[in-house]
Structure 1
Amino acid sequence: MTSTSRRVTTDRGDAGIRLDLVLRRHLADVPAATRTRVQSWIESGRVSVNGATVRRVSGRAALGDVLAVVLPAAVRGRTSRAVMTAEPIDLDILYEDDDLIALNKPAGMVMHPTYGHPDGTVMNALLWHARSWPAPQRPSLVQRLDKLTSGIAIVAKTKAVHAALQRTLASGRSAKDYLAVAYGRVGVARGVIDLRLGRDRHDRRRVVASATEGAPSRTAFERIDRVAAPRVGIALLRCRLLTGRMHQIRVHLAARGWPLVGDPTYGEPRWSAIDDQDLAAALRDFPRQALHSWRVGLTHPTTRARLVLQAPPPRDFQDLLGTCGFRTLSTTKVGQ
């Protein structure tokens, strides 16, 4: 019997993570791909990164790496990859051309099918949208937003464009700006949070910040507005990703003492200490982390023209801004 290979392109959640763990994540549909077996495949030369064979299990993946693993024939027959189906789900398309799409993702929608969310995802909707595209076009997620984060998500139409966009978005030539509503008295107008990020050893779904351990991670922030909210304080921030790690903004802000309003994982119930009962109730009832992927600037992979995309905050986010008493974004000068 012959062998077959699987090829994956790493996303921001893989950056800085050991190769064996990255492969385990992407081979979740292969029952035989235990961590011990994946490590043996690496050590025996069955795995390559960007075309070069690697044998170090502890090697780390970088954003946009192309990993290929040659699966033994006995393993190939035991895979159970589910076929994604196209579903007629409406998409809010901000921009589209022959190479890419920019979407305005609603909060609560999962980007890609998982065991717990097998359908109703952005990818299911994209497959429906792409059903008349000519070969070899096929939607490929360049950015992945958390389920409860709203805003811009970039999608490539070919493998070549996907690779080019990942290189561009990982470089200093791009800008990825988010709007965040956070608890705390943010006493500085702007700054950079420079803390390493790594997976929580006790809960792999969480990320922890450290001055010494994990992948280098940097988030620039600018305070757009703030309100007293006596005894607590609330701020509206623009956060710019200088690196792209899983949960980066959420973890960085929490580490600085400014947890996001509504964050179910890294947040704190600081609303309970706010004197204004109406404001406290609105913050308590906000159903998700107050984070919106607002603006992306990048060099187009084909035309080389500058492309600037902006997604207006959704109604729930706008209502929260109004309840907090922040100035509207249209009347506030925000850095470019």
Structure 2
Amino acid sequence: MTGLQLQWLVGDDWDGKLLREFLKEEKKLSKRALADIKFAGGSIFVNGEFATVRKTLQMNDEVEIIFPAEVRSGSIVPEKIGLDILYEDAHLLVVNKPAGMPTIPSRDHVSGTLANAVLYYYDQHGISSTFHAVNRLDKDTSGIVVIAKHRFAHDLMAKEQQNGGIHREYIAITHGIITTQKGTINAPIGRKTDSIIEREVRSDGQKAITHFRVLSRTAEETVVRVKLETGRTHQIRVHFSNLGHPLIGDDLYGGERTKIERQALHSFYCSFLHPLTLEKVSLEAPLPPDMKNWIE
């Protein structure tokens, strides 16, 4: 079984240059990807003939890459779980993850995860790939998760994420009244000394910046729209807790579960430049019922 197949036409900018340069610089194939093609069963063709990366290209050459088939980990078992799909093409799958579903299996949650659901969906649609999450959400955070359908798309999206090219925004509901209409929280975050799960604001932590804007207020809570400049573990939860306004339902960081059974946090918006089609993709995930009442 072969994996992903891609074809490109060589432009005049690459006339007389090596195929290796074209693939690495123009098409952003990593050294690992090229090594996999060479040693793990992939192929490269130019104008229908087998070629090595040392081949010199000419304008209008047709380059075809066949990636090796992906090998799945036996630790993720496909499970029949419904998916709320927001976007799909040959390279990406974007879903609206419900609260209570882990993104990937762990010692405490070996099944019922988004990864289990996606692999079942792949099997039903003849997609020979493993699970490549571009971003992850905490188990009790709902909203948008971007999944790459193959390793090459995952590599490209990871680079885009590192360069700040993936724009994500959240809706959160905090305890108490935040009096300012908008603000920025700039406070480094690190692992709490006596915990493997909890994070905290600490001087030796990693840079963490959160921007927020107030959408509405009740007598006891504030609804905020949040944009992350960095992506630290539990960043929104830690930052608002440190501000004295933990998310409602977030008992790990000082919130109370009297009105909602999980942290009130939803990833509702995501936009990015598609790494292969170069089209702008903008997506929204509707608020789940347990948070919708505050907005309305």
* TM, length-normalised to structure 2: 0.72
AA partner of residue 284 (structure 1): T
Distance 1:179 1:134, change over 3 A: closer
Q: SS at the partner of 1:124? A: helix
Aligned with residue 237 of structure 1, among 206, 219, 224: 224
Aligned with residue 318 of structure 1, among 270, 292, 295: 292
Aligned length: 226
Give the aligned partner of residue 273 of structure 2. 299
Post-superposition offset of 1:83: 2.6
Post-superposition offset of 1:84: 1.5
Q: SS at the partner of 1:244? A: coil
Question: Deviation above 6 Å: which 4+ runs of structure 1?
Answer: none
Q: SS at the partner of 1:130? A: helix
Give the aligned partner of residue 204 of structure 2. 213
Aligned with residue 215 of structure 2, among 224, 228, 232: 224
Distance in 2 of aligned mates of 1:250 and 1:84: 29
Distance 1:298 1:284, change over 3 A: same
Give the aligned partner of residue 195 of structure 1. 187
Post-superposition offset of 1:257: 1.1
Post-superposition offset of 1:173: 2.9
Distance in 1 of aligned mates of 2:265 and 2:247: 8
Aligned with residue 257 of structure 1, among 244, 269, 276: 244
Distance 1:120 1:193, change over 3 A: same
Post-superposition offset of 1:134: 4.6
Q: Which has the larger radius of gyration?
A: 2
Distance in 2 of aligned mates of 1:218 and 1:126: 31
Give the alignment of 1:1-336 within 5 angstroms: 83-131=75-123, 132-135=125-128, 137-210=129-202, 212-227=203-218, 229=219, 233-269=220-256, 284-319=258-293, 321=294, 326=295, 328=296
Post-superposition offset of 1:125: 0.6
AA partner of residue 103 (structure 2): M
Distance in 1 of aligned mates of 2:265 and 2:75: 31
AA partner of residue 262 (structure 1): G
Post-superposition offset of 1:169: 2.4
Distance in 2 of aligned mates of 1:83 and 1:129: 17
Contact 2:248 2:259 (8 Å CA) reproduced: no
Instruction: State the Cα deviation string for residues 199-246 of structure 1 (Å, max 9, x = none).
Output: 111011100112x2111011111111112x2xxx31100111111111
Distance 1:160 1:51, change over 3 A: closer
Aligned-residue Cα RMSD (Å) equals: 1.9
Distance in 2 of aligned mates of 1:294 and 1:305: 20
Contact 1:170 1:244 (8 Å CA) reproduced: no
Instruction: State the Cα deviation string for residues 89-110 of structure 1 (Å, max 9, x = none).
Output: 1111111001111110010011
AA partner of residue 266 (structure 1): Y
Distance in 2 of aligned mates of 1:204 and 1:240: 26
Q: SS at the partner of 2:147? A: strand
Contact 1:170 1:243 (8 Å CA) reproduced: no
